[in-house]
Structure 1
Amino acid sequence: MTAPTERPADRPTDRPGRRPGLFDQARPDRSPGPSYQDLLDGDTHDVPAFLRAEGESDFGVADIPARYYLDRDIAVLEKERIWKTVWQFACRETAVANPGDTVVYDIADLSILLVRGEDGVLRGFYNACLHRGRQLRHEDGPATELACQFHGFCWDLHGGLKRVPARWDFPHVTDDGFALPQVRVDTWGGFVFVCLSEDQVPLRDYLGRLTELDHWDLEGRYVEAHVEKLLPCNWKVAQEAFMESFHVVTTHPQLLRGIGDANSQYDAWGWISRAITPRGTPSPHLSYEPTEQQIFDAMMGLGLDDPRILELPDDATARTVIAAATRKRMRESLGEKAETLSDSECVDTFFYTAFPNFHPWGSYNRTCYRFRPNGFDPETCFMEVLVLSPFAGERPPDAPVRRLGLEDSFLDAIELGPLARVFFQDEFNVGFVQKGLHTLVEHKPGVSFGAYQETKIRHFYALYRELMDL
């Protein structure tokens, strides 16, 4: 747990929720309007010290070759140099909480089997029978042994050889030589990670700054919803749509009165990047400064003609009103801790990335993403959305995975609530991005990302190109 920091005395706090002018310009390479640090200055509560930190954000302005999204050879190379070398999120711990629980995790053309043994130890095995290579398991669920359904070779939950049919015909098979090969497994924040390389650093070292999320207890959450969607684009195209707030002005214009999209802060450290998008403050893209009532209404999802949920007092700000309501709502699951939450923790959006494809959100936003290639097909991928919710009392059961195909829509995932519409807007874009890239390469070989607002993407490619040796 990170201790709160005291507000510096030289930073103005003349009124709760103080918001500098919409068109203030602090530095020439940032958008007009209040920075995230400005908003923290006006917070009514102490803020966690780590939110004051600012990481690296300069990763150059070079174009990224479009072929990274289109070539099957690149997808094959990613298996060798990315998926076989990094730590990657495989499942939640609750999915393998009890002896005999198993989970199948597939990446590229590889399959990993996670198994909780009778001794309570969580192990990861390459999911293939050592006889003829058939997958030992193709779906999650409890098991008392790991038996191949082709010829019956069988292993115990520790990976030890248990049974060989017609053993007389296999004098060359030994117990030691036929133990299931294992992969590295570790846990953090209620997540299970696997790593196929012995050379990679330990998980905690790899996650680094991501562990500041311990402040919000991701381990103490349950999976309220889990949706997997097959998308018509490369996995990198898909995740890039969720690594910046630059797209809000065009893709989610209904949010602009209540979100400081272009005033987001972007930071990177090691394998980790972070973005913080302030809410309860208007977008600098607007040509006018909305009232606090208009900001509040926009954050409530109201249209201009919709009846108001609440009339704000003249001296109130949308940020402080929503923060107070959030503390009240969170008392049931957090108890007295809810009263210590800063306005920022209650209102703003914190979205992290652990290279290459794990995207948990901070505070109590509850959202977590994972993006995976669909085998070696560079034109399709899987996007997963997990909603991780706090709870009081007994842990609720995790929701089953809802799987949506190419012809389905996020709008079908009613368990996502209002988020389903937002994801649909993003889903609508990514297929056209993939199609457009095939045309782009005819006259422009690369993709031109912004220098700051797309920091998280540029940080990703700094790591990606180094590992891929491109």
Structure 2
Amino acid sequence: MTGTLPQAREDRSPGASYQDLVAADTREVPKFLTIETEPDYGVADIPAHFYWSREIAALEKEKIWLRTWQFACREELIPNIGDTEVYDIAGISVLIVRTAPDEIKAYYNACLHRGRQLREEAGNVHELRCPFHGFCWSLEGELAHVPAAWDFPHVNGENFRLPEVAVGTWGGFVFVNLDPEPEPLMDYLGVLPEQLDRWDFEGRYTQAHVAKVLPCNWKVAQEAFMESFHVVTTHPQLLQGIGDANSQYDAWDNVSRAITPRGTPSPHLTVQPTEQEIFDAMMGLGLDDAPVMTLPDDARARSVIGAATRKKMHDSVGDFAEELSDTECVDTFFYTVFPNFHPWGAYNRTCYRFRPHGDDPEQSVMECLVLSPFLGERPEPARVRWLSLEESFVDAHDLGPLARVFFQDEYNIGWVQKGLHTMAQNKPGVTFGRYQETKIRHFYHVYRRRLGV
């Protein structure tokens, strides 16, 4: 590819836009990928103290963590009656239980006697018995046994039923909401199901699940994964095959989307690569590595990789692979559902979750799941692997080539948290870009409305 790339509009980066690439696709592109919204959330700074204030963290707990739908676990982890999972958020523990083949319940994970957590980890049980004194409930939350019942005449089945937490499912994900009167889950998810259902998230299995405690606020952590603006500096090895600054950003209600085109060069490059160089970059080749294949003179890297991906996807999605457009095979679609759920679209397989670590506003938990399609019998899902303080994401070999990319992001965010305190001595707010950081601005649009700040 040579010459000057087109510039469609002055408020966007030069180069081919995502919609330009869609128009040249060799297959029919799903309609929702041809939609481009025009989000505009202004240019105001975001107060830096949002990232460390204990008062803000307390507001988040009250207005967000106790009031919004959150991804708690994958349904595949609790396939059998009596299977349990534990989801902890902001000092609150939720116990998720499979109570019937077609029913999942969730309870506040605490004994009503002295408050001892009922379960600390996943497992299969036939009852919910407190390990401290033996108070016991059925899987349905009904009081089943009171030790030394003669000493508890004031305890009965009516006033000692386990308090429930609202549960909903979509796409193989289990969601919980601690609000006593939550809005319906599907209303909350908005456009997400109609866009992601095409890629059958229910028909996925957890191939890998890695978690790590990070030295930063949960918002700092997730913001590193909500834009492609950082690619030019943090992931320079990707530039020949990624249109980072040509990403498209969209937003609807609680959902935002970014689409970063691949198989097209970064507009930051001063010398435009050939299609062969674009292809080699997407294959992850170094300067001294032999090409995987030599492209014909008239071939486009996007089309070649699209065709190869369709062929490979037959093994996991069958004949549906032939319906996939080039963009679905090549590009990166990363969605965010407020406040902390980040599934990637098409078959990129990545899914993130970010949470506060207990009640410390300057620590967080980052989790990465690899959700892979399959045919035939469902493979066993991977259990979460916690990285130690001494380990980094580069040690998470089960994440494959993504481990190196996550390590590059992980390296930055602790320094962001530290630098925010320094910056705030002279500049009280964080300055985000108007467009390239749209997803972050959309997040704060919803966040500030919910918190009233």
TM-score, structure 1 normalization: 0.95
* CA drift at 1:376: 1.2
Write out aligned runs for 1:157-196 (5 A): 157-196=139-178
Distance 1:450 1:400 in 2: 38
- What's 2:364 paired with? 381
Q: Secondary structure at the match of 1:463?
A: helix
Determine the C-alpha separation between the residues in 2 that align with 1:119 and 1:260.
Answer: 46
Q: Quick check: 1:20–1:33 contact (8 Å CA) kept in 2?
A: no
Distance 1:462 1:102 in 2: 35
The answer as to 2:282 corresponding to 1:299 is yes
Q: Verify the 8 A CA contact 1:102 1:116 in the aligned structure 2.
A: yes
Aligned residue in 1 for 2:229: 246
Q: 2:110 aligns with which of 128, 139, 146?
A: 128
After superposition, the C-alpha distances for 1:320-355 in whole angstroms (9 at most, x for unaligned) are 000010000001111111111100000000000000
**Matched position secondary structure for 2:41:** coil
Contact 1:32-1:263 within 8 A present in 2 as well: yes
> Does 1:443 find its partner at 2:443?
no
* Cα drift, residue 120 of structure 1: 4.2
Moved over 2 A (4+): 19-23
Residues 2, 273 of structure 2: 8 Å contact kept: no
CA RMSD in angstroms comes to 1.1
Structure 2 equivalent of residue 213 of structure 1: 196
The alpha carbon displacement at 1:200 in A equals: 3.0
Q: Which residue of 2 aligns with 1:416?
A: 399
Is 1:96 the counterpart of 2:106 in the alignment?
no
**8 Å Cα contact 1:207-1:272 kept in structure 2:** yes
1:34 partner SS: coil
Are the structure 2 counterparts of residues 251 and 395 from structure 1 closer, same or farther at C-alpha, using a change threshold of 3 Å?
A: same
Please tell me whether residue 267 in structure 1 is matched to residue 264 in structure 2.
no
Q: Which residue number in structure 1 is paired with residue 53 of structure 2?
A: 71
Counterpart-to-counterpart distance in 1, 2:428 and 2:233: 25
> Is 1:464 matched with 2:447?
yes
Paired letter, 2:154: H
Matched residues, number: 452
Partner of 1:105: 87
Cα distance between partner residues in 2 of 1:323 and 1:373: 38
Identity %: 69
Deviation at 1:73, TM superposition (A): 1.8
**Counterpart among 305, 308, 314 of residue 322 in structure 1:** 305
What are the superposed Cα offsets for residues 149-203 of structure 1, whole Å, 9 maximum, x if unpaired? 1111000000000000010111111101100000110100000000111343201
8 Å CA contact retained: 1:226, 1:386:
yes
Residue 304 of structure 1: CA displacement?
Answer: 1.9
For residues 227-281 of structure 1, the C-alpha deviation after alignment (integer angstroms, 9 at most, x for no partner) is 0011111100000000000000000000000000000000000000000000000
User: Alignment partner for residue 44 of structure 2, among 57, 62, 65?
Assistant: 62
Give the whole-Å Cα distance in 2 for the aligned partners of 1:249 and 1:192.
Answer: 36
- Note if contact 2:256-2:335 (Cα within 8 Å) is conserved in structure 1: yes
Q: Is this contact kept in 2: 1:20–1:38, CA < 8 A? A: no
Quote the Cα distance in structure 2 between the aligned partners of 1:271 and 1:22: 38
Task: Tell me which residue corresponds to 1:53.
Answer: 35
**1:398 pairs with 381, 393, 396, which one?**
381
How many angstroms apart in 1 are the aligned matches of 2:369 and 2:163? 30
- The answer to whether residue 54 in structure 2 is matched with residue 80 in structure 1 is no
Indicate if the aligned counterparts of 1:118 and 1:157 stay in contact, CA closer than 8 A.
Answer: no
* Structure 1 residues 224 and 280: alpha-carbon distance in aligned structure 2, compared to 1, 3 A threshold: same
Mapped to 1, the partners of 2:295 and 2:102 lie a distance apart of 54
Q: Distance in 2 between matches of 1:301 and 1:102?
A: 40
Distance 2:399 2:378 in 1: 20
**Residues of 2 paired with 1:56 and 1:44: CA distance?**
26
Alpha-carbon distance in 2 for matches of 1:284, 1:199: 48
Aligned-partner residue type, residue 124 of structure 2? P
Partner of 1:312: 295
Partners in 1 of 2:4 and 2:78 — Cα distance?
49
SS of the residue corresponding to residue 113 of structure 1 reads strand
Which whole-Å CA distance do the structure 1 matches of 2:144 and 2:102 have between them?
19
- Aligned counterpart, 1:204: 186
Question: How much has 1:379 moved relative to structure 2?
Answer: 1.3
CA distance in 2, matches of 1:90, 1:172: 34
d(CA) in 2 for partners of 1:30, 1:20:
21
Counterpart for residue 217 of structure 2: 234
Give a deviation string over 1:121-176, Cα, whole Å, max 9, x none. Answer: 21010001001111010111101100011111000000000000010111111101
Q: CA deviation at 1:408?
A: 1.3
Match of 1:148 in 2: 130
CA deviation after TM superposition for structure 1 residue 401, in Å: 1.0
Change (3 A) 1:230 1:271: same
The one-letter amino acid paired with 2:141 is G
Distance 2:52 2:200 in 1: 39
Where does structure 2 lack aligned partners over 5 or more consecutive residues?
none
User: 1:21 and 1:279 mapped to 2: Cα distance?
Assistant: 19
Kindly provide the amino acid, as one letter, of the partner of residue 111 in structure 2: C
Does 1:40 find its partner at 2:31? no
Once residues 262 and 4 of structure 2 are traced to their aligned partners in structure 1, the CA distance between those partners, rounded to angstroms, is 13
Aligned twin of 2:7 = 25
Give me the whole-angstrom Cα distance separating, in 1, the residues matched to 2:100 and 2:10. Answer: 60
C-alpha contact 1:124 1:185 (8 A) present in aligned 2: yes
CA distance in 2, matches of 1:300, 1:345: 17
Q: Distance in 1 between matches of 2:159 and 2:384?
A: 37
Residue type matched to 1:410 in 2?
Answer: F
State the distance in 2 between where 1:120 and 1:133 align. Answer: 30
Answer yes or no: is the 8 Å Cα contact 2:342–2:351 preserved in 1: yes
Unaligned runs of 5+ in 1: 1-18
Partner of 1:334: 317
The 3-state SS of whatever aligns with 2:408 is: helix
**1:61 is paired with a residue of what secondary structure?**
coil
